Structure 1
Amino acid sequence: MSESSIRENVSFDEAGKNLVAYREAAERGDAPILPSERLWGFWEFTYANSALAIATWAFLIGGSVGLFVGPREGIAAIIIGNIIGVVLTAFATTCMTGRYGVEQFVGLRSQFGYNGTRLVYVLAVVVLTMGWLAVLAMMFGRSIDGLIALSNGGQASPTGIKMMIAAILAILVTWFVVAKGPTSIKFFNMVISPALVLLMGVMLYLILSKHSFSELMLLPAIDPPFEDKHLNFIIAVEVNLAAGFSWWPYIGNLARLTKNERTAFWPNILGIFGAAALGEIVGLLAAVALGESDPTIWMTKIAGPAVGVIALLFVAFANMTSMANILYTSIVGLRQVGTDTVRKIPWGGILFLFCLIPLGLVVFYPQMYDGFLIFLVWTSALNSALAGIGIADYFFLRGQRLDMRKLHGPQEKGPYSFLGGFNPIGILSLAIGFVVYVWIFNPQTLDSLSVFKFVTASVPSCLVAGLMHYVLSRLFAHGRGWGDYPSN
């Protein structure tokens, strides 16, 4: 879409009176970002995605895979689950935001209505992002605690006061970085991402220097929960599907900073999938080789104290890079779904308020770190359905056409008001997708139907939610004039 057509197609009220005001509004998500104002080309977005994907969570997910299967099956599960989840998530989010420069949750008004989008934001972003910020901060804290233990020869205390202080500092520094805007995040990404890719290579080399590849491939799983190896493998695939779909709330708003639609989509394959898969494979191999899934422990065992200090330091800052990216995208969305009172809060102020709950979780619920795998898989019950709805709506119902003026204009009587600001079709489809997921596979207990071993839970949830949204929209939305869908 050309810059002139975006200018003509969007109503941004007072912000439209001058380019400086427009730039500020676009940066905060109040208007589409013009192509000439976008920050990232192909490699810059690849670096940004890599920095987001390479965090201790990749090591933890890989280590968790090692609980179910050995390296041979685990590598297959990592590749299969992540590529499917990332591709479907990228289609659902980045194509729309990359083409129009629209903020992701403004675009979602076309799928759920302006009030329905607020509901989705609370479910998919507030709960998810606050949890991830707390988990990543605690990962940072554990890395710093491990560094201190290595330097003075003492014992690490994963839930001790040093971890807590470091985690709090990580959240506060992240708040400061994001308060400076996306330019500072870009610099952070460009510095950290290449160094972390190099670190992954070093860790992989050190693992292979102590265990041959053939030896690693023969190692068993750490603690498989079922005697059925096929079931254990599919659970490992499901964990990685959840990892792939977990990017749904974030990569859309990162993609709106890219130059065009292609640049918004393809770097996700190299950056998100490639970097996450590399980190997970390293975590998997280390976990089965040492019988320990926590990277803040196995890194020092593999690399030794000297290299371990450097590794933990890089991983600590990788977490902060991921925290900065997800916090920025979440607050950009919050400004769009929030009330007028929320929108009047200064950028730095709303960032700090959002960080209060993660700070509370770090202080009062550090045990959350150890239960992150269950937390991760639960998120896929929601995110997989959201991806299916997004693909069905944007590609099959709208033919990739959105009206920027209507999306950014008054919503109460606009075409995206649906029924009281809620699109009952989108919300019903989301609920059905969620129920299908939990019916097939319960993340809390690992109980599953027999069909789970052949189709997983995320894929049926995505397909059913998307199909329901498409069929019901065709049957009912057109006749009621809901959603500004094309007549053909």
Structure 2
Amino acid sequence: MAEADINSEAQSESMPVLKSERIYDFKDYTVVITGFACAAWCFITGGTLALYVGVQTALVASIAGNIIAVLLMSLATQVISGKYGVDAYTSVRGVLGGRGTKVFLILMSIFVIAWLIILCMMVAKAVGNIVLGFTGIDITTGIPMFIVSVLAGAVCWLVAWKGPELLKKLNIFVAPVFVIILIFLFAVVSMNYGWDTVLSAEPLAPLDSEWLNFLIAFELSMGAGFSWWPNMGGLAKLCKTTRAAYWPNIIGLVFAATLGTVMGVAASLLVNSSDPTAWMIPMGGLALGTAALVLVIAADITACSVMLYNLGIGVKQVRSFLKLSWGKVTGLITLIAFIGMIWAEPLYDSFYIILGISSMSCAPIAMMQLVDYYAFRKKHISLRDAYNNSKSSKYYFWGGFNWVAIGVFAAAIVLYLLIFDPFLCVPQPAFVYCGATAIVCVFVAVLYYVLGKLLLVKRGIGGFSESAEKVSTESVGENNL
């Protein structure tokens, strides 16, 4: 099949991508996912962690939280996408039902658009700091920021419109760019401040308890790990093997992103600001600082384009979007983001909310997917039923909704809020014993397994009676990890 046709199928989501049509091998996907992971959101995550912990504690909390969340999230999404050539919103239909998935898609759309707004605002602030450095004119607030954010969003739309081949080429550039930024920060810290100063620097706004500060850093790191859920399947389905779809996540989403996060903590503590765009020029001077900000802009544009591409794949499942061209679908999403940019500055300043909501909403879905795919369906899903929205689909459940999964999801939200308030980043008394996301993961896995066995598997609802059968025609490009 011609390359243009491959991209067309991948973009329209009209059918799974066959193994022969996939364009990413292990190396390609490692570059793509590392470039995606290394946008400046790892720096802003570091800025958030710096409020509570120092560099050493941040390193431990970030690696621990990220690796747990990324491993679980990748097993729930990337493995299935790589095996069957489908995106996450298709594979999750066996958990939520066709209509339930569409409701969840709305929730994830809001979440992804919020990320788009934040990164476009970061681009605008980077531009504003460059202008301030050269001219002394402050355009880092108000209407100028809105205009530059909109322009950044328009560029992201143009990149996403071109499809996965351009994204791969851009990330080949962005991954080394991230390394350059890290080297820049490391060199500046070493020469101008010294690591003794960094390691002894106090958090910017810690709580009284060191244990609570660590748990919050760990919690936010888990949120960062689970926040990749909406952005994974659209690219993983283009991987030639499940190995290529799974293991690069550890390289990019855990280790590369953690390096950026820890450097973000160090810079925040030294400059006394959690805003990444405010670090570069004060730390490196006008010339080097401007160069670093330009690289940050490039990384953010690429990351926004990947998110826009993945969300476009997801909304293509909705009938009203199915017949629209790829440019119109991604353009409509971008227009919605433009409207949201009116409130971009307060959202940017409250970035921690996104990390908390990530854990609260994505972790329960990932855990139910794990139980559903590995325990109930024995690593086999029915593609025919995943694409069948009628009553004849095994995944129709009750009126298109798996009310067992929806009930477990609602209970998980309540439990999370009883332990941790993501909107104010305030821990409740129980938080000190278990954190929030960790206990929610265990709670969801156990509850969904028990209720699923009783109300779904034993009653033959959801197609579980045939889950152990190996249907070779549905195992598109199957590979073991």
TM-score, structure 2 length as denominator?
0.93
| Mapped contact 2:11–2:312 kept (Cα < 8 A) | no
Deviation at 1:238, TM superposition (A): 0.7
Consecutive unaligned residues of structure 1, counting only runs of 5 or more, are 1-15
Residue among 299, 304, 324 paired with 2:285: 304
Inter-partner Cα distance in structure 2 for 1:88 and 1:412: 31
Q: Work out whether 1:292 is the aligned partner of 2:276.
A: no
Counterparts of 2:6 and 2:276 in 1: how far apart (Å)? 44
Aligned partner of 2:310 in structure 1 is: 329
Q: Deviations over 1:423-478 (max 9, x none)?
A: 01111111111111111111233443444223211111122122222211111112
Whether contact under 8 Å (2:353, 2:424) holds in the other structure is no
Task: Within 5 Å, give how 1:14-413 maps onto structure 2.
Answer: 24-123=8-107, 125-152=108-135, 154-224=136-206, 226-336=207-317, 338-339=318-319, 341-413=320-392
Alignment partners' CA distance in 2, 1:55 and 1:31: 30
SS class of match (1:68): coil
SS at match of 2:398: coil
Query: In the alignment, residue 376 of structure 2 is paired with which amino acid?
Result: L
CA 1:131 to 1:446, structure 2 compared with 1: closer, same or farther past 3 Å? closer
CA 1:274 to 1:411, structure 2 compared with 1: closer, same or farther past 3 Å? Answer: farther
Which amino acid in structure 1 is aligned with residue 58 of structure 2? G
Deviation at 1:302, TM superposition (A): 1.0
**Offset at 1:137?**
0.6
What stretches of structure 2 of length at least 5 have no aligned partner? 469-481
Q: CA deviation at 1:217?
A: 1.4
How far off its partner does 1:23 sit? Answer: 6.4
Deviation at 1:55, TM superposition (A): 1.7
Over residues 152-209 of structure 1, what are the superposed CA-to-partner deviations in whole Å (9 max), with x where a residue is unaligned?
A: 2x14332233322221111111111111121111111112222222221221221122
Residue in structure 1 matched with residue 438 of structure 2 by the alignment: 459
CA contact (8 A) 1:384 1:459 kept: no
Shift of 1:331: 0.9
- Give distance in 2, aligned partners of 1:466 and 1:155: 54
* TM-score (norm: length of structure 1): 0.92
Summarize deviations over 1:12-59 as a string: whole Å, max 9, x none. xxxx9x998676334422211111211111121111111111122211
**1:208 is matched by which residue type in structure 2?**
S
Alignment check: 8 A CA contact 2:96 2:402 kept: yes
Q: Distance between the aligned counterparts of 1:316 and 1:133, measured in 2?
A: 13
| Equivalent-residue separation in structure 2 for 1:51 and 1:24 (angstroms) | 23
CA drift of 1:247 comes to 0.4
Cα distance in 2 for partners of 1:485, 1:80 equals: 34
Verify the 8 A CA contact 1:60 1:295 in the aligned structure 2. Answer: yes
- Asked if the contact 1:197–1:275 (Cα under 8 Å) also holds between the matched residues in 2, the reply is no
- Measured in 2, the distance between the counterparts of 1:248 and 1:47 equals 18
Question: Could you say which residue in structure 1 is the equivalent of 2:393?
Answer: 414
Q: Which residue of structure 1 lines up, in the alignment, with residue 479 of structure 2?
A: none
Equivalent position amino acid for 1:458 in 2? T
Contact 2:416–2:440 (8 Å) recurs in 1: yes
Q: Higher mean Cα deviation, 447-456 or 93-102?
A: 447-456
Q: Which amino acid aligns with 1:248?
A: W
Q: 1:91 to 1:297 in 2, by over 3 A?
A: same
Equivalent pair of 2:87/2:236 in contact (CA under 8 Å): no
Give, in angstroms, the shift of residue 260 of structure 1.
0.7
Residues 19 and 114 (structure 1 numbering): CA distance in 2 closer, same or farther, change over 3 Å?
farther
Distance in 2 (CA, whole Å) between partners of 1:361 and 1:172 is 14
Distance 2:321 2:267 in 1: 45
* Contact persistence 2:88–2:232 (CA under 8 A): no
Moved more, 94-103 or 157-166: 157-166
- Aligned to 1:349, what secondary structure does the other structure show? helix
- In structure 2, distance between residues paired with 1:292 and 1:480: 56
Going from structure 1 to structure 2, the CA distance change for 1:397 and 1:228 (only over 3 Å counts) comes to: same
Moved more, 442-451 or 50-59: 442-451
Question: Counterparts of 1:170 and 1:65 in 2: how far apart (Å)?
Answer: 27
> By how many angstroms is 1:364 displaced?
4.8
| Alignment partners' CA distance in 1, 2:98 and 2:288 | 51
- Given that residues 72 and 218 in structure 1 are in contact (C-alpha distance below 8 angstroms), is that contact kept between their aligned partners in structure 2? no
Report the alpha carbon displacement of residue 281 of structure 1 after superposing the two structures with TM. 0.7
Amino acid at match of 1:396: A
Q: Alpha-carbon deviation of 1:211?
A: 2.7
Cα distance change of structure 1 residues 236 and 348 upon mapping to structure 2, 3 Å threshold: same
Distance 1:450 1:359 in 2: 39
Counterpart Cα distance in 2 of 1:186 and 1:365: 28
Could you tell me how far apart the structure 1 residues matched to 2:220 and 2:301 are?
23
Aligned amino acid, residue 431 of structure 2: F
d(CA) in 2 for partners of 1:301 and 1:334? 42
> What is residue 9 of structure 1 aligned with on the other side?
none
Structure 1 residue matching 2:51: 3-state secondary structure: helix
| Residue 299 of structure 1, CA deviation | 1.1
Residue range with higher mean Cα deviation, 343-352 or 208-217 = 208-217
Instruction: Report the identity percentage.
Output: 32
Quote the Cα distance in structure 2 between the aligned partners of 1:206 and 1:20.
45
Distance in 2 between residues matched to 1:47 and 1:66, nearest whole Å: 28
Match of 2:201, as an amino acid? Answer: L
Deviations 1:361-382 (A, max 9, x none): 2235532211121232122111
Question: Residues 360 and 437 of structure 2 are in contact (CA less than 8 Å); yes or no, is this contact kept in structure 1?
Answer: yes
Question: CA contact under 8 A between 1:80 and 1:237: conserved in structure 2?
Answer: yes
One-letter amino acid of the structure 2 residue matched with residue 465 of structure 1: V
| Secondary structure at 1:39 match in 2 | coil
Q: Secondary structure at the residue paired with 2:101?
A: helix
The corresponding residue for 1:484 is 463
Cα distance in structure 1, aligned partners of 2:261 and 2:402: 38
Q: State the Cα RMSD in Å.
A: 1.9
Tell me the SS of whatever aligns to 2:462.
coil
